[in-house]
């Protein structure tokens, strides 16, 4: 396929499609977005007109039935990720699916099984981008022994957090029908931390829906069952521990992002001050304080999701950010958090063994 155009069909046209995927595809030569299907015909037409897409499909099935389409980019809410992905792979289409991978790990396993049954099709999950600029540097420093042996990770995430507001309207992320077991940005940040320190082998969580009800568009009071403040602890497969707090209801939180990686010989810190940009700090045994780390320009990662997807299609390059196997793991971790919240206490990972 290296010498022929790659034609993309879009299914779902939300914020990330508008801000990231569509500009990314349009910036590449030999790539054409030929059709789009959003939640309503009107929204599909508006998106097509905005970006000069030639056709509008009546629904997502029509995109998969379109013989022109080589690959689909799925930007729907999580509840549609599994059915569309599975149908797309079975229809012979390459798939770039928005995060989070699915409603739960059961769906994610089915997606992985179908992807493995169609090895000629690229299957990629949109990766968590927040740590892109620092990932390579952090992984190289840890790999080179900068921190020694890992003791623990302490991550506190309050991006977009504010005092609780019971008058705020319900969002689709507050609804388990659409979001499943996904909770706030919890899974996205865990995916980032996995790149640095590997996977968890246990999970224990407490959480609360501080804003326990909201008013829908008809004025009805709707119960909120997805936490807006959660604390998670766990053991890591390589040794050491993880502590992760994610909140959207902490007013005057001292920083949106603060992640500390403690080792026997050194410490790393990714810190974002209010209103500022994230910065990496490091120190070793004998230092009096952490100091800023200068990120080499050649190692500073950036968003190139669409380029990576097309490269995998054209050249057969393996998907690294993020393949379906990684997606299955973070969905198992997400399910483990939910099980723990429901009274299971400490939950071991993986949830599902090979040969299940």
What mean pLDDT is predicted for residues 124-141? 98
Does residue 114 contact residue 204 with C-beta atoms inside 8 Å?
A: no
Name the pLDDT band for 148 (thresholds 50, 70, 90). very high
CATH 3.40.50.720 applies to domain 6-128+304-321? yes
- The tens digit of pLDDT for each residue in 275-315 reads 999 999 999 999 999 999 999 999 999 999 999 999 999 99
Q: What is the CATH number of domain 132-301?
A: 3.30.360.10
Q: What percent of the chain has pLDDT over 90?
A: 94
For the range 12-17, what are the long-range contacts, defined as Cβ-Cβ under 8 Å and sequence gap of 24 or more?
A: 12/37, 12/38, 12/39, 12/60, 12/74, 12/75, 12/76, 12/77, 12/80, 12/98, 13/38, 13/43, 13/44, 13/47, 13/75, 14/75, 14/76, 16/75, 16/98, 16/126, 17/47, 17/73, 17/75, 17/98
Calpha distance 281→292 (Å, rounded): 4
pLDDT above 90: residue 121: yes
Question: Which is it for strands 71-74 and 94-97: parallel, antiparallel or unpaired?
Answer: parallel
206: which residues sit within 8 A by CB, 6+ positions away? Answer: 230, 231, 341
Name the pLDDT band for 3 (thresholds 50, 70, 90). low
- The tens digit of pLDDT for each residue in 155-199 reads 999 999 999 999 889 999 999 999 999 999 999 999 999 999 999
What mean pLDDT is predicted for residues 101-105? 98
Does residue 12 contact residue 81 with C-beta atoms inside 8 Å?
A: no
CB atoms within 10 A of CB 140: 12
The residues spanned by each domain of the chain are 6-128+304-321, 132-301
Q: What is the predicted pLDDT for the residue at 354?
A: 43
Distances (CA, A) of 186 to 5, 30, 230, 276, 289: 37, 36, 9, 21, 29
């Amino acid at each position: 396929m290296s010498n022929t155009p790659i034609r993309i069909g879009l299914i779902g046209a939300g914020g990330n499609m508008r801000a990231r995927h569509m500009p990314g595809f349009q910036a590449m030569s030999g790539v054409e977005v030929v059709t789009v299907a959003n939640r309503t015909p009107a929204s599909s037409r508006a998106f097509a007109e905005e970006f000069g897409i030639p056709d509008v499909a009546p629904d997502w099935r029509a995109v998969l039935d379109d013989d022109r389409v080589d690959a689909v980019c799925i930007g729907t809410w999580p509840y549609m990720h599994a059915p569309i992905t599975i149908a797309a792979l079975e229809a012979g289409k390459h798939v770039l699916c928005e995060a989070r991978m699915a409603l739960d790990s059961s769906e994610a396993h089915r997606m992985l099984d179908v992807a493995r049954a169609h090895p000629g099709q690229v299957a990629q999950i949109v990766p968590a981008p927040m740590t892109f600029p620092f990932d390579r540097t952090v992984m190289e420093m840890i790999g080179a022994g900068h921190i020694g042996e890992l003791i623990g990770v302490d991550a506190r995430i309050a991006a977009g957090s504010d005092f609780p507001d019971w008058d705020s309207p319900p969002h689709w992320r507050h609804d388990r029908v659409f979001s499943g077991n996904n909770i706030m940005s919890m899974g996205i940040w865990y995916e980032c931390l996995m790149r640095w320190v590997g996977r968890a082998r246990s999970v224990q969580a407490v959480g609360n829906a501080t804003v326990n009800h909201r008013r829908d568009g008809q004025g009805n009071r709707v119960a909120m069952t997805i936490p807006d403040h959660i604390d998670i602890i766990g053991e890591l497969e390589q040794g050491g521990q993880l502590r992760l707090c994610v909140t959207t209801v902490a007013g005057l939180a001292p920083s949106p992002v603060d992640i500390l990686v403690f080792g026997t010989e050194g410490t790393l810190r990714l810190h974002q001050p209010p209103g500022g940009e994230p910065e990496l700090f490091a120190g070793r045994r004998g230092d009096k304080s952490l100091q800023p780390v200068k990120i080499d320009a050649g190692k500073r990662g950036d968003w190139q999701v669409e380029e990576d997807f097309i490269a995998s299609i054209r050249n057969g390059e393996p998907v690294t950010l993020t393949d379906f196997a990684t997606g299955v793991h973070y969905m198992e971790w997400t399910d483990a958090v939910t099980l723990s919240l429901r009274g299971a206490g400490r939950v071991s990972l993986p949830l599902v063994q090979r040969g299940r």
